[in-house]
């Protein structure tokens, strides 16, 4: 096998554009690639890649492998794996960076096991050991109560990176790079899953991931009702969104889409108001806070 | 149709223990003895997923776990709630594994079990949170997988799965045998009935040693790791905390509103 060289980012698209996680992976990958003095490549695979290839270059990629085929319209492990596995065999990257997203969580472990290498998921920090050129990988463990640093000597080095853990570069449309349209045949007989239906359950209003203010409730809320009333009223007033910790999501008090945390959504608001999370029970404060803010905002 | 199911479970320190008791000493997590082991929260959902299928169409559930020093009362909960059999890969040599050596040991045990329609796993363990073992098993066995399942039914010899996606869910059909990784939203694991607890008390788990599943000690546990743990640590968290006071909760709320406004945060 050829010597492993360069860094490959597994790109993701959202609404036909490069997803924010991919710009973050490119920002992180660019730094690592510059340290290694090697190339940064990005895979974009979809039914319609559109401008995403050019965006990947503007955000730091040297080479973009664009794979366009109707089967890739919706992510399925059995079809995407064929694309990623083929590309990895063709270009032999030293490192593969994948987002710790719905797709990444599903794809990365299978990919690592198939390639016979190791994987560290949900990394918060990556650095390169200058001697060995191996990745030092830091990730949270024990529900965030500790962090662990891992290394491994197998190639390629595969990691998934938590959303919002890395910063993207400033978009620079004058950056030079190469878009390589890549044809990869997908054997449909190897796709053993079928998506029968995709149902959107999104809450109306501002998206949790984009909300500058989040009002989040925990187990102490006691049931579904306060999420619709006191928390919602405060969130609306602050032009924010309602979120929840794990127990309300597990108990079905709120839709899973409102669940914030390690296994839910990763958020980075300016203000996060936690109500009755981990035993605290200050629900009484919220109506008063809401009332006073209304007065202040009106005045 | 009766469905043959295997549920992979892990015995972990109770993740609901207060954060302050988690202490890292010499690169190892040490917990006080009053933090009791439990079956991981996502594996409990995986057990419930299997039990729901058994409720409707019948079938057999084998609970499977790898580790050492299993606390019998803890791991036998799998039997008490309705699993038919419990197989423990229990040996000192299984200790200290990573996602790779754990998935490999479980996959070898599943090959020895031989017949199965669905393997259930939790989305991630409640201690190391890696989220790899289920998919690793699927890859080693060469079977399809569906992750983040919150509802599973068996219809016409296939599994129909509701898979959680960021803004909703998908209904995914998968051919059997398949591995299904379960997340929350499926409903809590049912309580064991008195009858279930009595039956579990009489039943002994089947114990398999490394040689029973065709593995050398060098392939399992700490010796079989692919990734090396360099360091385990607890980052020093700096927090500035100001308590906004008030004679009543309502007054404290109003004072907080004033402070947020003064600080131009809102």
Task: Clarify whether residues B218 and B244 are in a common domain.
Answer: no
Residue A271 burial (CB < 10 Å; 0-12/13-18/19+)? middle
Name residues whose C-beta falls within 8 Å of residue B72's C-beta, 6 or more positions apart in sequence: B205
pLDDT in tens, A39-68: 999 999 999 999 999 999 999 999 999 999
Residues 79-98 of A with CB under 8 A from B: none
* Identical fold between A7-190 and A208-298: yes
Kindly list the residues from chain A whose CB atom is less than 8 angstroms away from the CB atom of residue B172. Answer: 193-196
pLDDT at site A57: 98
Which of A102, A119, A251 is facing B166, going by the closest CB pair? A102
Which of B15, B130, B168 is facing A200, going by the closest CB pair? B168
Mean pLDDT of chain B: 93
Task: Clarify whether residues B264 and B190 are in a common domain.
Answer: no
Q: Is the pLDDT of residue A280 over 70?
A: no
Element (H, E) at B185: none
The verdict on a CB contact (< 8 Å) between A288 and B174 is no
pLDDT at site A226: 92
d(CA A299, CA B254): 15
d(CA B208, CA B189): 26
Residue span of the structural domain in which B262 resides: 236-266
Task: Clarify whether residues B139 and B64 are in a common domain.
Answer: yes
Name residues whose C-beta falls within 8 Å of residue A199's C-beta, 6 or more positions apart in sequence: B168, B169, B170, B171
d(CA A79, CA A191): 6
> Is the CATH number 3.40.50.1220 carried by domain A208-298?
yes
Q: Is the pLDDT of residue A283 over 50?
A: no
Binned at pLDDT 50, 70 and 90, residue A295 comes out as: confident
Better-predicted residue by pLDDT, A97 or A236: A97
How far is residue B43 from each of residues B67, B133, B181, measured CA to CA in Å? 15, 12, 9
Stretch A84-101: mean pLDDT? 97
Task: Clarify whether residues B121 and B242 are in a common domain.
Answer: no
Kindly list the residues from chain A whose CB atom is less than 8 angstroms away from the CB atom of residue B19. Answer: 145
Task: Clarify whether residues B241 and B202 are in a common domain.
Answer: no
CATH number of residue B201's parent domain = 3.40.50.620
Residue B120 lies in a domain: yes
Q: Which of A71-75, A179-183, A207-211 has the lowest mean pLDDT?
A: A207-211
Element (H, E) at B16: none
Task: Clarify whether residues B78 and B104 are in a common domain.
Answer: yes
pLDDT at site A101: 95
Handedness of CA A278, A280, A285, A289 (dihedral sign): negative
pLDDT at site A286: 64
Binned at pLDDT 50, 70 and 90, residue A284 comes out as: low
pLDDT in tens, A160-202: 999 989 999 999 999 999 999 999 999 999 999 999 999 987 6
> Is the CATH number 3.40.50.620 carried by domain A7-190?
yes
ipTM of the prediction: 0.91
Mean pLDDT of chain A: 90
Residues 132-151 of A with CB under 8 A from B: 136, 140-143, 145-151
Instruction: State the 10-residue block means of pLDDT for chain B, 266 residues long.
Output: 95 86 90 92 96 96 96 96 97 95 97 97 92 97 97 96 92 98 90 95 96 95 95 84 87 88 80
pLDDT at site B264: 78
Chain A residue with the nearest C-alpha to that of B104: A113
d(CA A213, CA A193): 39
Cβ(B97)–Cβ(B107) below 8 Å: no
pLDDT in tens, A238-257: 889 999 988 888 888 988 88
pLDDT in tens, A124-137: 999 999 999 999 99
Total domain count, chain B: 2
Cβ(B181)–Cβ(B152) below 8 Å: no
Q: Is the pLDDT of residue A1 over 60?
A: no
Q: Which of B1, B13, B3, B2 is nearest to B129 (CA)?
A: B13
The verdict on a CB contact (< 8 Å) between A193 and B148 is no
Q: Which of A251, A184, A192 is nearest to A217 (CA)?
A: A251
Q: Which of A159, A251, A19, A34 is nearest to B45 (CA)?
A: A251
Tokens, residue A165:
């853990």
Task: Clarify whether residues B220 and B240 are in a common domain.
Answer: no
Would you mind telling me the total number of residues written for chain A in this entry? 299
d(CA A241, CA A215): 6
Q: Which of B49, B32, B31, B37 is nearest to B13 (CA)?
A: B37
Task: Clarify whether residues B150 and B204 are in a common domain.
Answer: yes
pLDDT at site B263: 81
Q: Is the pLDDT of residue A287 over 70?
A: no
pLDDT in tens, B24-44: 998 899 999 889 999 999 999
Q: Which of B119, B125, B109 is nearest to B205 (CA)?
A: B109
Task: Clarify whether residues B137 and B192 are in a common domain.
Answer: yes
Which of B168, B187, B254 is facing A202, going by the closest CB pair? B168
Kindly list the residues from chain A whose CB atom is less than 8 angstroms away from the CB atom of residue B265. Answer: 270-271
Residue B230 lies in a domain: no
Handedness of CA B209, B213, B215, B221 (dihedral sign): negative
Domain coordinates of chain A in residue numbers? 7-190, 208-298
Within 10 Å of residue B202's Cβ, how many Cβ atoms?
Answer: 7
Q: Which of B57, B49, B53, B38 is nearest to B120 (CA)?
A: B49
Q: Which of A107, A128, A119, A88 is nearest to A1 (CA)?
A: A88
> What value does the CA radius of gyration of chain B take, rounded to a whole number of Å?
22
The position carrying tokens 């073992």 is B133
Name residues whose C-beta falls within 8 Å of residue A109's C-beta, 6 or more positions apart in sequence: A119, A121, B99, B131, B132, B134, B135, B136, B139
> What does DSSP assign to residue A151?
E
Residue B231 lies in a domain: no
Task: Clarify whether residues B12 and B132 are in a common domain.
Answer: yes
pLDDT at site A285: 60
């Amino acid at each position: 096998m050829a010597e492993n060289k360069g860094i490959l980012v597994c790109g993701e698209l959202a609404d036909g554009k490069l997803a924010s996680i991919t710009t973050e992976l490119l920002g992180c990958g660019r730094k690592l690639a510059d340290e290694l003095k090697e190339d940064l490549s990005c895979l974009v695979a979809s039914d319609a890649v559109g401008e995403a290839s050019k965006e990947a270059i503007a955000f730091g990629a040297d080479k973009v492998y664009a794979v366009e085929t109707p089967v890739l319209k919706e992510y399925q492990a059995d079809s995407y794996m064929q694309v990623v596995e083929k590309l990895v065999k063709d270009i032999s990257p030293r490192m593969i960076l994948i987002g710790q997203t719905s797709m990444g969580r599903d794809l990365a472990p299978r990919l690592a096991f198939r390639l016979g290498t190791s994987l560290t998921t949900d990394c918060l920090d990556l650095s390169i050991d200058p001697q060995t050129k191996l990745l030092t990988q830091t990730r949270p463990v024990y529900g965030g109560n500790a962090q662990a640093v891992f290394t491994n000597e197998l190639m390629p080095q595969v990691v998934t990176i938590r959303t919002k853990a890395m910063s993207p570069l400033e978009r620079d449309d004058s950056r030079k790079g190469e878009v390589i349209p890549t044809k990869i045949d997908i054997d449909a007989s190897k796709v053993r899953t079928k998506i029968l239906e995709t149902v959107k359950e999104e809450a109306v209003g501002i998206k949790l991931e984009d909300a500058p203010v989040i009002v989040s409730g925990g187990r102490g809320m006691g049931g579904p009702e306060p999420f619709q009333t006191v928390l919602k009223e405060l969130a609306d007033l602050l032009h924010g969104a309602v979120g929840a910790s794990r127990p309300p999501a597990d108990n079905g008090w709120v839709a899973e889409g409102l669940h914030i945390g390690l296994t839910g959504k990763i958020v980075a608001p300016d203000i996060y108001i936690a109500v009755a999370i981990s035993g605290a029970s200050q629900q009484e404060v919220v109506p008063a806070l809401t009332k006073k803010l209304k007065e202040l905002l009106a005045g | 149709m009766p469905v043959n199911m295997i549920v992979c479970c892990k015995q972990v320190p109770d993740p609901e223990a207060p954060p302050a008791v988690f202490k890292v000493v010499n690169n190892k997590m040490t917990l006080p003895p009053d933090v009791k082991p439990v079956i991981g929260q996502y594996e409990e959902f995986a057990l419930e997923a299997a039990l729901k299928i058994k409720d409707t169409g019948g079938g057999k559930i084998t609970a499977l776990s790898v580790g050492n020093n299993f606390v019998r009362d803890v791991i036998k909960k799998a039997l008490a709630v309705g699993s038919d059999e419990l197989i423990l890969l229990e040996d000192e040599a299984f200790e200290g594994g990573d996602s790779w050596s754990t998935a490999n040991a479980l996959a070898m045990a599943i090959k020895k079990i031989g017949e199965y329609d669905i393997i259930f796993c939790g989305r991630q363990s409640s201690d190391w949170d890696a989220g790899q073992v289920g998919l690793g098993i699927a890859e080693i066995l060469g079977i399809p997988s569906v992750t983040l399942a919150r509802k599973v039914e068996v219809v016409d010899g296939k599994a129909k799965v509701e898979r959680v996606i960021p803004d909703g869910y998908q209904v995914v059909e998968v051919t059997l045998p398949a591995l299904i990784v379960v997340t929350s939203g499926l409903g809590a694991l049912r309580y064991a009935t008195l009858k279930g607890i009595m039956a579990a008390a009489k039943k002994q788990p089947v114990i398999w040693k490394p040689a029973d599943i065709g593995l050398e000690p060098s392939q399992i546990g700490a010796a079989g790791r692919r990734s090396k743990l360099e360091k385990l640590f607890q980052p020093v968290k700096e927090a500035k905390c100001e308590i906004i006071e008030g004679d009543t909760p309502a007054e404290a709320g109003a004072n907080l509103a004033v402070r947020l406004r003064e600080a131009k945060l809102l």
